[in-house]
Structure 1
Amino acid sequence: MSSSDNHWEVGTDIGGTFTDIIAIRRDSAEARIAKVPSRPDAPVQAMLEAIEAVGLRKSEVKRFVHGTTRVTNAIVEGRLPKVALVATEGFADVLEIARYRRRDLYRLDIPPKSPPLVPPERCFGLAERLDHEGRVLKALDEAEIERLVAWLKQTGVQSVAVALLHAYANPIHEKMLGERLRDVVAHVSLSHEINPEAREYERTSATVFNAAAMPIAVEYLSELEQRLPIGPGLQVFHSAGAMIPISAVKRRPLVMAMSGPAAGVSASVSIARQLGTSRMLTFDMGGTTTDVCLIVDGQAEMTDGRMLGDKPLRQPMLAVHSIGAGGGSIVRNGPGGLTVGPESAGSEPGPACYSRGGLEPTITDANAVLGYLNPETKLGDRIGIDIESAKRVIEPIARALGLSLTETALGIIKVANATMARALRRVTVERGIDGRDCTLLAFGGGGPMHAAGLADLYGIAQVVVPSASSAFSALGCLTADFSFLQQQTLRAALDGIDLVRVSERIGTLIDDASAPLIANGVAKAEIQVELVALMRYAAQNDAIPVSFTLPLDVAKLKTDFLTRHHELFGYATGEPCVIESVRVQARRPSTTVVSRPATAARAVSSGQRTCSFDGFHDIATAIIDRTALTDIVSGPAIIEDAWSTVVVPPGWQAKPDVAGNLFLTRRAA
């Protein structure tokens, strides 16, 4: 037996409720899927348990890629280690001043701003100064560095964020501090490495977030390296939709924020390209959140950042919009009626129907009451479905509303779907896209159960449920490219542009983005480079992305900018244009085949079950084994495999293709 016979590639997605895993053998089409409960306090142990769940030994795993919400959760929940901030003298209060806008315009009962990430007593003003072009106005001397070192030792912190004024234009002073401070504190985060762009507040905020995340990430990534010692094969998925080596993540752990949802989008891009779908909406409903993203012409929308915990997180990432409405989201009956989330039952104790001690009603419990979940099977081969427990927690709400259990459960599903529809509008209507023209790609543990109802509500005509839908984000970890991304402020007016200077800056960015790949054994000839200019009119504040190639064709770049500006805003003018920043992504394309079958090892029994739908209560519903499905199925039907459930309501039909995808459409009248 050759060594390649046991060469397995493994992708995992660590969610709030479950850790999903998919393993693909390199030399064949064999694939294995599993799902184990997440362990928020022991994520590495959960990953190792997932490997065991697919019947593999650690020695058989040659490549292991994972996405996680660990950093995101720590930021949102405020569980971050203490950090010190070093800023230019006179700017140490940048986080306290923040932006001149209230958290909520109409609420006077809450503070106008949330507390700064770093309190004033842990902020240090350093005597140094650069101008906006990077020229040194006040040099950083040795005595000032010694003063900083003495102050840092007094604070007792293990992480320090350095964000000096205009360091994006010239990092000379930050590099000096980086060399000296690494002997003083365990973790040093430099703004020119984390977010080398203008916007001092956002750049400083991102640098502080990264510094706070470093102890969390380094600890658990080091444990993973120790317990799964496979060298360069150990990789992490990042929020821009690709994978990077662990060595790079330890210095920039902020790239892991939103990495789990980004993995699902990455796999969705592959599906969109395979199907030739010009506009696709991803719908990833997990146990804790629902994540949506727009894919246009085979490219996922990108953004320069997002808000996390009322604070800006500025770095290039996939434009994933998340809401606190997952399968484990808790249902409440308040003064305004039923609400779902954002509080979640999580993995411990989980929904009441899991029989693990859950005492509050969740969306999953409503699905169980309606008959959508099979009480005879076990999720992840471990968790059974207890319908009576689900009824017991929903009954108080039904009694308060004066409704039957079925009517209440249907009401919960309607509220959940309405919440998710608002998320779809955020990524379509607010970006000038008619969501009704899109195809909905449903995955995650709960996505295929809610997809048809959500499509009905939103007016979408077609739903696609991919093969391995419940572990789709884990699959995305494997099928994504190996890449690294850099984005830096350039500020070059197109009129009179210095092409030599601009080309040199872009060349440096390409080298910086390629370096982590080359350091992990990727040949330079294998690396592909994508270039994007973030452009604006000279008097504008925000920039829009425009792709370009080298050598830079200024006339074409301006024409493309004007065309894109007109598409987004309905007009374009002859005003001067500026390249605000340049984004460079170096990638080695994935060699993992997306269309490989990823079926469960065991089949499910077929037959009938009593289910309820909107307008159809307690009707006989066909239960169909997805692995045996070859023809069109008309609703009402429940299509199951060992890991997922697809609900086909009355008036809908499902049709499989040869790759294992299911296409849900409304039946012709």
Structure 2
Amino acid sequence: MGFTVGVDIGGTFTDAVAVGDDGSLRSAKSLTTPGVLADGVLSAVEGLGIALADVDSFVHGTTAGLNAFLERRGSRVALLTTAGFRDVYEIGRANRPAMYDLRYVAPTPLVPRRDIHEVTERLAADGSVVTPLDEAGVRAIAQRLHGTVDAVAVVLLHAYQNPAHERAVARIFAEAAPSIAVVVSSDIAPEWREYERTSTTAVSAYIAPIVLEYLRVLEDSLQHGGLVSDLKVMQSNGGVMTVDRARERAVQTLFSGPVGGTMAGVAVAADLDLDRLLCVDMGGTSFDVSLVVDGAADIASQTELEGHPLLAPSVVMHTIGAGGGSVAHVVAGALRVGPRSAGSIPGPACYGRGGTEPTVTDANLVLGRLPDVALLGGSLSLDKEAARAAAASVADALGMDVERTALGIVAVADAAMANAIREITVARGIDPREFGLLAFGGAGPLHAVSIAEELELERVIVPGSPGVLSAWGMVHTDLRHDVVQTFFHAVEHLRPDTFAEASGDVLARGRALLLADGVAPERIDLQPGLDVRYLGQEYTLTVPYGPDEEAGDVLAALHGRFDALHLERFGHNNPVEDIEVVALRVVARGLTARPEAGDVQAEGSPRELGRQEVRFRDETREAPVWDRASVAPGTAVSGPAILLEPGCTVLVPPGWTATPSAHGHLVMERTA
């Protein structure tokens, strides 16, 4: 039997799942190995109990590029730009994200001005050549940079209309300085807006050598272990790509780890016939929030990372440093939790690996919410006395007892996570009460109901295999390419034949990318759209249309569709205002064949593993500890109760019930 394998590297654990051709599921965890991440991947795959030679598809989510960016340990990058535009990157934009923040500091460019070099060339706005490229000058720059930088970002004026000059620069560098990785904007972000295009290309060049080296080591290790199928990499846009594409477009790997959980949320929403979910992934180091709206992942064509704009379609996500390993400490007499994490080494004190500082995991163990019979990750026994000793150090500083301090640690973490959800909902005009809460990750189901109560939510879903859900989501994700072409036209003057020709070209490019990846023609799905704005606006909304719609019909309906979308997104519109098209887009998907999920079978009565004293806000209650796998679909478990499985622990507080669905998703709801 063949298997599809997904692997997700977290700050504490590396998760692996394998889905067989018959729909069977296997999962495994191993501690993340920060020094050589590939070791943790191989260890997790070994825990699946399958041979790499039996793997038909291997999908991997990596945080190598994101971590390099956040820790500012990326490559040394030089930037080549058109003569006269050297300061575009440093000037940036004049807008202030926090208008009244007196301490606001603009982000520091990844490329200092001394490493920005001007190239003699010039293209007009329509892509025609005004000044030919000075190839001798480019060759001289390449020879001067050889051995001094790791990567070069090439951003020439109007290259989104005509990439010829940028490609010539890349060719010259390949000849004169082959050791330097070259990233050109016409491949990474072929869109208008010079600063955003420059920023995106610079970020991609900054992380590219690190991502390339990581993927090389991982691919070599897997092939040495017997893998014969292609290695695929999760993208920020909710799709997967081949490892060769990942080497070319490193910027698309930035959020590849947490995005797997969002795509799993799409599958769970379809399974439970829900159209709106808040997906929260709480692992050992971070807490990630994303949305499923109308049954699809919430994806933005432009995003931002620590003040650096990115013209790269990405799942809208908000991340904070709050996880099971977040360290509790006292600052000016007040309790703080995170963002620093104990990670996997030494880890929380209860791991018994040398950690002495109290963490959220230690607090849950002290409160009994992690039961005494629990094995973290399915194999790691926990030291409750070590957890109490660690919590006592903070309790002494606060003048409180250990249990109340542990309650405080959990409450502070819960409040931080609820605020993170408000950032991605309330701050954008979205009412979170209209959503169900999908909680996963090793620690998410422990805190899910507390977060739901804070936000006044009525339903919490803990999916099957929640501890490895991000890896499971990667297995159920399609191959994806996003093709974009700048296309400025006022709609009232746009002729159908002009639009049809341009649209057909973008559709053909999307199809060609999938065919080059080996996707069968019958598995290709193309979803075109138009970036549209009211005349005079700065930013746009993407209006989708059918690939088989006639050009005249699309243009005739475009104004009404845009008005409706604008009203839905912003709460207002202006139907009498003229609109214009800014860009053409195509989402090209290579559809993945997915085995049908089987119904969960549980024989007999739920199996009780023991009873546990659990501390809630104002009281201590005795709660039964159930083996989650033994609870049959449709069987309601009333709180207080704990449901235990190898990957995580589910806490059902008083006033809530938990009922497994036919496919094993645990639906928790308030009782009357």
Equivalent-residue separation in structure 1 for 2:162 and 2:483 (angstroms): 16
Q: 2:169 aligns with which of 170, 177, 183?
A: 177
* Superposed structure 1 runs of 4+ greater than 4 Å apart: 101-110, 596-600
Consecutive unaligned residues of structure 2, counting only runs of 5 or more, are none
Query: 2:160 is matched with which residue?
Result: 168
Q: What is the CA deviation profile of residues 439-497 of structure 1, one whole-angstrom value per residue up to 9, with x for unaligned ones?
A: 11111111111111110110000001110111000000101112222233222221111
1:35 paired with 2:29, answer yes
Deviation, structure 1 residue 381: 4.2
Equivalent-residue separation in structure 1 for 2:7 and 2:138 (angstroms): 44
1:189 paired with 2:191, answer no
Q: Which amino acid aligns with 1:118?
A: V
Deviation, structure 1 residue 195: 0.8
CA contact (8 A) 1:157 1:185 kept: no
Q: 1:220 aligns with which of 214, 218, 234?
A: 214
Alpha-carbon spacing, 1:596–1:240, altered in 2? closer, same or farther (3 Å): farther
Moved more, 506-515 or 300-309: 506-515
Query: 1:89 is matched with which residue?
Result: 83
Deviation, structure 1 residue 438: 0.9
Query: 2:557 is matched with which residue?
Result: 556
Equivalent-residue separation in structure 2 for 1:258 and 1:594 (angstroms): 28
Q: Equivalent residue of 1:556, what SS? A: helix
Q: Equivalent residue of 1:315, what SS? A: coil
Q: 2:352 aligns with which of 355, 360, 365?
A: 355
Alpha-carbon spacing, 1:280–1:148, altered in 2? closer, same or farther (3 Å): same
Query: 2:645 is matched with which residue?
Result: 641
Q: Equivalent residue of 2:241, what SS? A: strand
Consecutive unaligned residues of structure 1, counting only runs of 5 or more, are none
Q: 1:616 aligns with which of 615, 619, 625?
A: 619
Equivalent-residue separation in structure 2 for 1:338 and 1:514 (angstroms): 55
Query: 1:61 is matched with which residue?
Result: 55
Q: Equivalent residue of 1:495, what SS? A: helix
Q: Equivalent residue of 2:301, what SS? A: strand
1:666 paired with 2:670, answer yes
Query: 2:287 is matched with which residue?
Result: 290
Q: 1:411 aligns with which of 397, 405, 408?
A: 408
Alpha-carbon spacing, 1:382–1:339, altered in 2? closer, same or farther (3 Å): same
Query: 2:655 is matched with which residue?
Result: 651
Query: 2:145 is matched with which residue?
Result: 152
1:80 paired with 2:80, answer no
Deviation, structure 1 residue 136: 2.0
Moved more, 54-63 or 159-168: 54-63
Q: Equivalent residue of 2:492, what SS? A: coil
Alpha-carbon spacing, 1:220–1:337, altered in 2? closer, same or farther (3 Å): same
Deviation, structure 1 residue 102: 5.7
Alignment of 1:300-449 (within 5 A): 300-335=297-332, 337-449=334-446
Query: 2:631 is matched with which residue?
Result: 629
Equivalent-residue separation in structure 2 for 1:149 and 1:661 (angstroms): 56
CA contact (8 A) 1:467 1:599 kept: no
Q: Equivalent residue of 1:396, what SS? A: helix
Equivalent-residue separation in structure 2 for 1:194 and 1:569 (angstroms): 29
TM-score by length of 1: 0.94
Equivalent-residue separation in structure 2 for 1:304 and 1:341 (angstroms): 31
Moved more, 240-249 or 350-359: 350-359
CA contact (8 A) 2:64 2:214 kept: no
Equivalent-residue separation in structure 2 for 1:238 and 1:456 (angstroms): 33
Deviation, structure 1 residue 329: 1.4
Query: 1:572 is matched with which residue?
Result: 573
Q: Equivalent residue of 1:606, what SS? A: strand
CA contact (8 A) 2:460 2:669 kept: yes
Equivalent-residue separation in structure 1 for 2:497 and 2:204 (angstroms): 33
Equivalent-residue separation in structure 1 for 2:184 and 2:149 (angstroms): 16
Q: Equivalent residue of 1:356, what SS? A: coil
Moved more, 67-76 or 368-377: 368-377
Equivalent-residue separation in structure 2 for 1:47 and 1:578 (angstroms): 48
Alpha-carbon spacing, 1:85–1:231, altered in 2? closer, same or farther (3 Å): farther
Q: Which amino acid aligns with 1:88?
A: T
1:134 paired with 2:127, answer yes
Aligned length: 657
Q: Equivalent residue of 1:247, what SS? A: helix
Alpha-carbon spacing, 1:9–1:235, altered in 2? closer, same or farther (3 Å): same
CA contact (8 A) 2:7 2:15 kept: yes
Q: What is the CA deviation profile of residues 343-397 of structure 1, one whole-angstrom value per residue up to 9, with x for unaligned ones?
A: 1111111111111122222111111111122333432344221111111121122
CA contact (8 A) 2:328 2:337 kept: yes
Q: Equivalent residue of 1:276, what SS? A: coil
Q: What is the CA deviation profile of residues 104-136 of structure 1, one whole-angstrom value per residue up to 9, with x for unaligned ones?
A: 6666667x3343211122110111112322232
CA contact (8 A) 2:333 2:398 kept: no
